[in-house]
Amino acid sequence: MNHEERHGTAGTGSEGVGAPRTVSRRRALQSGAVAGAGTLMMAASQAQTPRTAADPEFRIRNRRIRQSIMGWTYNPMPTPDLARLCKEIGLVAMEGVGKEHYPMIRELGLEISLVGSHGFAQGPCDRTHHATVVNALNEGIDLAVSVGCTRVITFTGMRVPGIADEEGARNCLEAWKQVMRRAEQARVTLCLEHLNSRDSTHPMKGHPGYLGDHVDFCVDLVRQMGSPNFKLLFDIYHVAIMDGDVIRRLRQHREYIAHIHTAGVPGRGELDDTQEINYPAVMRALLEIGYDGYVAQEFLPTWTDRALALRHAAMVCDV
């Protein structure tokens, strides 16, 4: 609203040059409401990504975000079918699939974005698991090297009765230090993933009892490791549930982030307007901080057309 409108007058009109024009309080409020509604509608259309916007022929165009997929989320779709779908859409990599599929994935021209190791339940926070964890990480590093991958995932493990969080953290560091020389020499980065402990509705939507459930706790472990080959797997879904303030945290922890996962909040579904994260804004924030790693789609598809759901997610993140 300009100066004249705020003061109940306007410049020229049918009344004549400079003639005063009274604007009633009701009309001003109505005009402001309409303008405000228009602004809100525009903002909503930019922020939301409804499934009706999904394009069954969409292919990634901008390629500023290196998109991957965590393959387990699309079970029971056969991995070769999923790989061909990823290639058609324009994703550049896959992860979270059996290593027996790696040759096929690479033959399609896709990369392996992350290699698995030990599971998230029996982790290094409990010293009784150290031998298993260290062996799994060493194998993961060797496998990553063999397929041209530079990332191996690791976890803290579940809390154990009688082991305080501080002791669990020390135990984790003790185990990881046993493999860091190997990782550094292989130029492989171990990626520590935090997981939410709030959602108990589904075994893969949340992990009650997980030690590294807050991102700042995991960042502190990364700092203490003090190696350029030990960093954070920033899972947007888990961060949003446990800590929130996703974009500010991306900026705050930029130097420690080596990998990204996505999913809708709260249900870990598609990246559509039934969830609360504005993914285009998050992707733009990643570009702003100079992140050039992978962004792996890790949502659990609920749409009847699961292929369309992946195209839609790729579209949302192709900023």
On the question of pLDDT at 129 being above 90, the answer is yes
On the question of pLDDT at 22 being above 90, the answer is no
Q: How many Å is the maximal CA-CA distance in the chain? A: 90
- If asked whether residues 94 and 17 sit together in one domain, one would say no
On the question of pLDDT at 37 being above 60, the answer is no
Look at residue 99 and tell me if it is in a domain. Answer: yes
Look at residue 53 and tell me if it is in a domain. Answer: no
- If asked whether residues 109 and 256 sit together in one domain, one would say yes
The CATH number of whichever domain residue 144 belongs to comes to: 3.20.20.150
On the question of pLDDT at 237 being above 60, the answer is yes
Look at residue 54 and tell me if it is in a domain. Answer: no
- Rounded CA-CA distance 258/192 in Å is 9
On the question of pLDDT at 262 being above 70, the answer is yes
- Rounded CA-CA distance 279/317 in Å is 7
Residue 33's domain comprises: 3-46
Number of structural domains (the chain) is: 2
> How confident is the model over 46-64, as a mean pLDDT?
84
pLDDT (0 to 100) of residue 21: 40
pLDDT > 70: percent of the chain: 85
- If asked whether residues 107 and 200 sit together in one domain, one would say yes
Structure confidence at residue 29 as a pLDDT band (50, 70, 90): very low
Question: DSSP string of 232-293?
Answer: EEEEHHHHHHHT--HHHHHHHTGGGEEEEEE--TTTS--SSTTSS--HHHHHHHHHHTT--S
Look at residue 124 and tell me if it is in a domain. Answer: yes
**Residue 182, token pair as written in the block:** 């190997």
> How confident is the model over 12-40, as a mean pLDDT?
41
Identify the weakest region by mean pLDDT among 41-45, 110-114, 254-258.
41-45
- If asked whether residues 12 and 135 sit together in one domain, one would say no
On the question of pLDDT at 282 being above 80, the answer is yes
- Rounded CA-CA distance 12/69 in Å is 60
Identify the weakest region by mean pLDDT among 18-22, 105-109, 138-142, 234-238.
18-22
Structure confidence at residue 48 as a pLDDT band (50, 70, 90): low
Judged on CB neighbours under 10 Å (0-12, 13-18, 19+), 23 is middle
- If asked whether residues 166 and 32 sit together in one domain, one would say no
pLDDT (0 to 100) of residue 47: 52
- If asked whether residues 22 and 67 sit together in one domain, one would say no
Q: How far is CA 252 from CA 146, 216, 226, 235, 277, in A?
A: 34, 10, 17, 15, 18
- If asked whether residues 18 and 107 sit together in one domain, one would say no
Peptide bond preceding 266 in cis form (omega within 30 of 0): yes
- Rounded CA-CA distance 105/87 in Å is 9
- Rounded CA-CA distance 60/319 in Å is 9
Identify the weakest region by mean pLDDT among 20-34, 58-72, 183-197, 209-223.
20-34
On the question of pLDDT at 116 being above 90, the answer is yes
Of the CA atoms within 13 Å of residue 97, those in its CB half-sphere come to 28
- If asked whether residues 23 and 151 sit together in one domain, one would say no
| pLDDT, mean over the chain | 89
pLDDT (0 to 100) of residue 23: 43
On the question of pLDDT at 206 being above 90, the answer is yes
> How confident is the model over 134-162, as a mean pLDDT?
98
> How confident is the model over 303-312, as a mean pLDDT?
97
Element at 95 (helix H, strand E): strand 93-95
- Rounded CA-CA distance 194/192 in Å is 7
Look at residue 135 and tell me if it is in a domain. Answer: yes
- If asked whether residues 76 and 121 sit together in one domain, one would say yes
> How confident is the model over 267-280, as a mean pLDDT?
96
Look at residue 82 and tell me if it is in a domain. Answer: yes
> How confident is the model over 220-239, as a mean pLDDT?
98
pLDDT (0 to 100) of residue 234: 98
- If asked whether residues 129 and 87 sit together in one domain, one would say yes
Look at residue 154 and tell me if it is in a domain. Answer: yes
pLDDT (0 to 100) of residue 50: 81
Which residues on neighbouring strands pair with residue 112, listed in sequence order? 94
Structure confidence at residue 18 as a pLDDT band (50, 70, 90): very low
- If asked whether residues 29 and 151 sit together in one domain, one would say no
- If asked whether residues 16 and 69 sit together in one domain, one would say no
pLDDT tens per residue, range 57-99 = 999 999 999 999 999 999 999 999 999 999 999 999 999 999 9
- Rounded CA-CA distance 284/148 in Å is 28
On the question of pLDDT at 111 being above 80, the answer is yes
Look at residue 282 and tell me if it is in a domain. Answer: yes
pLDDT (0 to 100) of residue 53: 83
